[in-house]
Chain A
């Protein structure tokens, strides 16, 4: 059985990963591209934020820089795609690969960077609220809430409309006098900005940044998006935008809880990535799986209808 503190820990982590998942939502759902930059840009965000914290920059300011660094990575991926005509998937992989070296440089050629003695947002809030046990929950939750609301408001501005339409239909966007390429760059930059921010917050939460922390992160983001959507769609056919964003956050927290539960039930931590890959595979194949299920059930249980029987 999971302890209460393990549950709280998972929720805290889930809230941070939700910011990343919102970035994945933006690239995967809104812009309709699978962006693999994420695996690299989350480390970039963590490395930037950790490095800045360790040299005395205010943790909050370091998060802004983490956002900007992630955004640059996303913009580069998009530019590779638009200007050099490299496939979106490959552009993401190239940037992700290149970021590995850059991330090492940011961390001063170390594979990890501990923040044991440096101030972090979590430490600051914890010492500001003595006697309050859940300051980490407060910090992550507050951050996420601001981002969800801000993101929602942005998506309802004129610029946000253009961004959403670009993922839907580029022809229409260009026919409406909008530079669809600029929208794609903006979108991927924003998406990876969120990812970088999540990375920075994660580094401050766990008090270290590590070069390998990004491996498979994009899959976790996707899993969160899909889990959340699947659950919410269970209750309503069409979900308003704000609830879709909330669904992504819920999905992220549920994913963390599920993993923590599996580990407490005895799953080796090394199997986590395999399980994540399986979850996303199943979630992405819901359509075909349903069709197969209907076929199987249909052939086994269906009786010929009256019309067929007459023939």
Chain B
């Protein structure tokens, strides 16, 4: 499904600020996997995602998506196979455009961007029907600008846009970190719902260790640009937040917050 081999990235090489962010990462995700990624600040979680999505080029290594080598593809071409939700709710949507226009852009992924109408009647009906899944009343506000939505609504909309045209891989970079607990819970529930899709694998970075264990089917812990732990199945079921902390001596206050 997705196979990462020998992926490395060093920031500011040859300078006093040299920082190896990823060191020879090998990772294989299977169809339907929902992997949670944890690790302290600077462990390389976001760098890993940015290398996969093409925001930053990797120094070496290969990334294969469904057998296709995407290592050298520009970001926007990789996006055809990858759905993304960012930590910042402002990054996921075009604020000065309406909800349905945003959806139309997401829906046109991989199609030709020409002089056809931006949104058709049929698409509008489809969006309305599908938006109801979010259970946020957005289906009745489709012609409102996204700038009027709350952070949680935007994040839910971004998540919805990311999976609208069935990506092979869904990347979530702490997508609930900027939300209040109740909204974060709601967005996580939606994440669980969408991640159930058997043809897609999901990679979710989180700072919340109990979320990391209670969502998905596999958990990766990163440390110093390496994968320090990779658990699934019974081993993961038996894991608790306390034993995680004990086992890896994690000294990061933010990660302790449940």
**Interchain CB contact (< 8 A) of A177 among B92, B101, B109:** B109
**Interchain CB contact (< 8 A) of B76 among A157, A160, A177, A238:** A177
Task: Check B108 against A158 for contact (C-beta < 8 Å).
Answer: yes
- Which among B31-39, B110-118, B133-141, B228-236 touches the partner chain? B110-118
With A154-B115, A157-B118, A178-B113 known to touch, is A169 a contact of B79 (CB < 8 Å)?
no
Confirm or deny: B64 has a beta carbon within 8 angstroms of a beta carbon on chain A: no
Q: Which of B76-111 contact A (CB under 8 A)?
A: 76-77, 79-80, 83-84, 86, 90-97, 101-102, 104-106, 108-111
Q: Which of B129-163 contact A (CB under 8 A)?
A: 145, 158, 161-162
Residues in chain B near residue A165, CB distance under 8 A: 94, 97, 101-102, 105
Could you mark each residue 149-179 of chain A with 1 if its beta carbon is under 8 Å from any beta carbon of chain B, else 0?
A: 0000010111111101101110111111111
Interface of A is mostly: helix
Residues in chain B near residue A159, CB distance under 8 A: 113-115
Residues in chain B near residue A178, CB distance under 8 A: 76, 105, 113
Confirm or deny: B75 has a beta carbon within 8 angstroms of a beta carbon on chain A: yes
Could you mark each residue 170-202 of chain A with 1 if its beta carbon is under 8 Å from any beta carbon of chain B, else 0?
A: 011111111110000000000000000000000
Residues in chain A near residue B93, CB distance under 8 A: 169, 172
Task: Check A157 against B114 for contact (C-beta < 8 Å).
Answer: yes
- Rounded to whole Å, the gap between the CB of B220 and the closest CB of chain A is 23
Q: Compute how far the CA of A167 lies from the CA of B95 in the bound complex, rounded to whole angstroms.
A: 10
- Rounded to whole Å, the gap between the CB of B216 and the closest CB of chain A is 22
Residues in chain A near residue B84, CB distance under 8 A: 175
**Interchain CB contact (< 8 A) of B95 among A162, A168, A175:** A168
- Rounded to whole Å, the gap between the CB of A241 and the closest CB of chain B is 10
Residues in chain A near residue B115, CB distance under 8 A: 154, 157-159
Q: Contact size class for B?
A: 35 or more
Q: Compute how far the CA of A160 lies from the CA of B114 in the bound complex, rounded to whole angstroms.
A: 8
Task: Check B118 against A156 for contact (C-beta < 8 Å).
Answer: yes
Nearest A-chain residue to B145, judged by Cβ: A238
With A169-B90, A169-B91, A172-B91 known to touch, is A158 a contact of B79 (CB < 8 Å)?
no
Residues in chain A near residue B118, CB distance under 8 A: 156-158, 160-161
Task: Check B114 against A177 for contact (C-beta < 8 Å).
Answer: no
Q: Compute how far the CA of A164 lies from the CA of B113 in the bound complex, rounded to whole angstroms.
A: 13
Task: Check A162 against B113 for contact (C-beta < 8 Å).
Answer: yes
Residues in chain B near residue A158, CB distance under 8 A: 104, 108, 111-118
How many residue-residue contacts, CB under 8 A, span A and B? 93
Task: Check B94 against A174 for contact (C-beta < 8 Å).
Answer: no
Task: Check B95 against A176 for contact (C-beta < 8 Å).
Answer: no
Please report the total number of A residues contacting B with Cβ < 8 Å. 24
Task: Check B86 against A176 for contact (C-beta < 8 Å).
Answer: no
Residues in chain A near residue B158, CB distance under 8 A: 172
Q: Which of A124-171 contact B (CB under 8 A)?
A: 154, 156-162, 164-165, 167-169, 171
**Interchain CB contact (< 8 A) of A174 among B75, B96, B101:** B75
Task: Check B91 against A180 for contact (C-beta < 8 Å).
Answer: no
Q: Compute how far the CA of A164 lies from the CA of B80 in the bound complex, rounded to whole angstroms.
A: 20
Q: Compute how far the CA of A162 lies from the CA of B107 in the bound complex, rounded to whole angstroms.
A: 12
Nearest A-chain residue to B93, judged by Cβ: A172
Q: Compute how far the CA of A227 lies from the CA of B162 in the bound complex, rounded to whole angstroms.
A: 39
Nearest A-chain residue to B95, judged by Cβ: A168
Residues in chain A near residue B162, CB distance under 8 A: 175
With A157-B115, A168-B95 known to touch, is A174 a contact of B79 (CB < 8 Å)?
yes
Task: Check B95 against A171 for contact (C-beta < 8 Å).
Answer: no
Task: Check A179 against B101 for contact (C-beta < 8 Å).
Answer: no
Q: Compute how far the CA of A173 lies from the CA of B161 in the bound complex, rounded to whole angstroms.
A: 12
Q: Compute how far the CA of A6 lies from the CA of B205 in the bound complex, rounded to whole angstroms.
A: 66
Q: Compute how far the CA of A95 lies from the CA of B109 in the bound complex, rounded to whole angstroms.
A: 34
Task: Check A177 against B95 for contact (C-beta < 8 Å).
Answer: no
Task: Check B117 against A157 for contact (C-beta < 8 Å).
Answer: yes
Q: Which 10 A-B residue pairs are closest in the complex by CB-CB distance?
A: A168-B94, A165-B94, A177-B79, A161-B118, A177-B109, A171-B91, A177-B80, A174-B76, A175-B84, A157-B115
A sample of 20 more A-B contacts (CB under 8 A), given A157-B114, A165-B102, is A156-B117, A156-B118, A158-B104, A158-B112, A158-B118, A159-B114, A159-B115, A161-B118, A165-B97, A165-B105, A168-B94, A169-B90, A169-B92, A169-B94, A171-B86, A171-B92, A175-B162, A176-B105, A176-B161, A178-B105
Interface of A with B (CB < 8 Å)?
154, 156-162, 164-165, 167-169, 171-180, 238
